[in-house]
Structure 1
Amino acid sequence: MSENTTAQVDQRYKKGLMTPTNANIVQFRNPTVVMWWAAAIPGYGHVMLGKYIKGFLLIVWEFTVNYNSKLNTAIMYTFIGNFEAAINVLDLNWILLYVPVYLYSIWDSRRVAIDQNKYALLADMSWSVAKVDSISFSAMEKNYLDKRKTWLAIFWSLITPGLGHLYANRLPTGFYILVWFVIAVYFSNILPSIHYTFLGQFDKVFEVINPQWALFVPSMYCFAPYDAYLQCDSFNKLMAKQ
């Protein structure tokens, strides 16, 4: 490959960008895993791939339409075998809006993952990683390449989802996950239900918990440590290649 051709490849296939608040780089991602997270909560697959605007908008859509359609409540009734209540609680005006965008989120996250995997291969072949800034400053924040412990990203995410991303300096994702987690935990009354569980007052647990919000929490709680680990690992790989 000639020097001119190499320069053109380097210019076209950039590895990513370091900013004071984030490091958005292209890395290999398993399209099936990305699809799975998009199925858990629409938008999560795109956030994994660094498509923050589309991902955040899809997450807002998920919470809005899911809440108004009472989908999670219907799922809860389905789990306990009360299929008639599940059908009656659903709002058809909202649930019929939900399905097309839900399927699109899964399909598009897989499409983007496959495209980005091809792009990541070309970026690594052209060694464009060397052109990613190792440090980025602004008046309010700074970000720099440093080896991050992946287990710490997992640990802080398990303590409170979002903290692992803040540790890895993925500030947009970290604060977004943290805010939505707090909202879901508050309106689901999970913390009071845990309190009553420790006291053995199980009748009060079922009285206070709100299944519509509570069923958001497991997906959020599992996604945060997994993605924080991947993002931290990507950060470390970027540093190792420079």
Structure 2
Amino acid sequence: MKATPKVLVGQRSPKSPWLAVNLSAALPGAGQMYDGAIARGLIIAVAHGSLLAFILWSIFAPEGNTLRGLITLVPLLSLYIFNLWDSHHAAKRGITLDEFSPLRYQSSDPWYPVFLSQVLPGLGHLFLQRAAIGGTLLILGILTAYLANFNPDLLPLMTIIWAAGCGLAYRAAPSRQRQWGWLGLLLAAVIVTRFAISSIPFVVPQQVVQCIVPSESMLPTLEVRDRIFVRPRPLDQPLSVGDIIVFSNPERTPLDQAGDLYNLMVKRVVALPGQRVEIRLGQVWINDTPLAEPYLKDPILYEWGPEIVPNGNLFVLGDNRNKSRDSHIWGFLPRPHVVGNAYKIYWPPQRVQPLP
């Protein structure tokens, strides 16, 4: 008969180290709270959330420093690993040393294969020498995760397979006493957390589009190979003179494909629908008033217009006016071609800055 962990008078009941690790793997700090270290668990949870928020702000906010955000991934990962170790270490305090053997404990604790199944569905069953179901879950988990990269409708199925692998591993593991309530909470956390993380690659492109500056037409504001973030704009959202916009090339993109993320160009809005635009005397005139453009490096060497911008169109020019293929060559830009406003140079590091 296996000996049960001894509990001294006045001591708390022993906790499962691997249940604590499972909880902390799904929700950082939850394992410490399960161990009874409420304050430490809250500190870890807040620190984890704060680092994550700082990373997202640094990368995507106009004023954020992209490189600093990427570097912060190192302390975030370090905190996550510490969170797993600390939750396991704190729970072990409830087990006396003469009863605790790491190898024997992890092989008999039903929560250990559950943790392996959090890493990859099926690993827990393989650890328990259930090769058939373990291999099946492993293949299903990897396959659905791969296919979900192309079809977000598969994300719920992927998270369910992950959670099912954890639940089935717990059921298959030998144990004299089951903790079904904790299993239910853990599976709910696994589903919510993995679905949230897996949705990021699909949610972010709806809010931010990435673009690489293809030419010198926007010098000195934008340099070739600058990587910029673009905030998508619906058709009914107005633009302003001076906005830097990204759009599909009207010379290469049919109107029925307008706004596709191919053949992209970046220019500055110079005139809006109904405005009379003219280029003479080295500068742009809007409704016979010279347009102040402090961002230009050289005066314009050509003349154009005057013409009135038609409804549903824009007049756009590159900041490097004399070396830009833009509206003064191919005409007005139909509004459906516009993808959105460029708002930040996010790479290379020495060029990171917000765009006006």
* TM-score in terms of structure 1 length: 0.38
- Which structure's residues are more often strand, by fraction? 2
Q: Which has the higher contact order (CA 8 A, sep 6+)?
A: 1
* TM-score in terms of structure 2 length: 0.28
